[in-house]
Amino acid sequence: MYNPGHFEESRAEVLHQLIREHPLGTLVNRGPEWLDANQLPFELDAAEGTHGVLRAHVARANPLWQTVQDGDEALVVFRAEQAYISPNWYPGKHASHLLVPTWNYRVVNVHGRIAIRDDEKYVRGLVARLTREHEAGTGDARPWRMSDAPPEHIANLLQAIVGIEITVFAMVGKFKLSQNRDTRDRLGAAEELRRRGNAALADAMRDA
């Protein structure tokens, strides 16, 4: 990934936070014919290993788990908020007319080695943790629990999925937030984004 220094984010805790807040990652691996990509919600265990471990599951019908070999390299891309940035939003544009459009975003590329975990205990624990975490974020008075469904139904569903685990060996963060513009232009564009409803990206640009 092309990553100029002013956009580079290397703090592990910041990259981990983005992954936790935006857990739907795009897993890229080499398939039998070409590169393949699957969108999966991941669990991050930052404390395991040198750089952490990602865990997810796929449908047993998905050929991914049969086409990869344990130890194969994989890339998982996590993307946060993003938006087009018009030159009209930079106060400096009206003086010089030298500014051009761009696109701002925050993204983390996670590089690791994949392993298949085809056992019921593993996927049951993973699904239970993912369910608890994301149900807690719904705000419902009584979040859904696995025990709400008949045990035999859950058992059948668990047989239909396969766990995957990615041991991370590198993370590359690119937070492109108009850091290459002067403060007045960066903040001006951020305020216009906020006015248009993209408060998350506006906050990130303000704090860049």
- Between residues 13 and 99, the one the model is more confident about: 13
Condensed to tens digits (0 to 9), the pLDDT of residues 5-39 reads 999 999 999 999 999 999 999 999 988 888 999 99
**The tokens of 194 are what?**
């906020």
Question: What's the confidence (pLDDT) of residue 24?
Answer: 98
The domain segmentation of the chain, as residue ranges, is: 5-207
48 secondary structure, DSSP code: S
Question: What's the confidence (pLDDT) of residue 32?
Answer: 83
Q: Please give the model's pTM, rounded to 2 decimal places.
A: 0.93
* Residue 106 β-bridge partners: 175
Measured CA to CA, the distance from residue 7 to residue 75 in angstroms comes to 20
* pLDDT, mean of residues 58-80: 96
Of 167, 179, 189, nearest to 76 by C-alpha is 167
Res. 1 pLDDT band, cuts 50 70 90: very high
Overall fold of domain 5-207: Pnp Oxidase; Chain A (2.30.110)
Pure H helices in the chain: 12-21, 64-67, 93-96, 120-136, 151-159, 183-195, 199-207
Q: Are the C-beta atoms of residues 169 and 150 closer than 8 Å to each other? A: no
Of 164, 167, 162, 130, nearest to 146 by C-alpha is 130
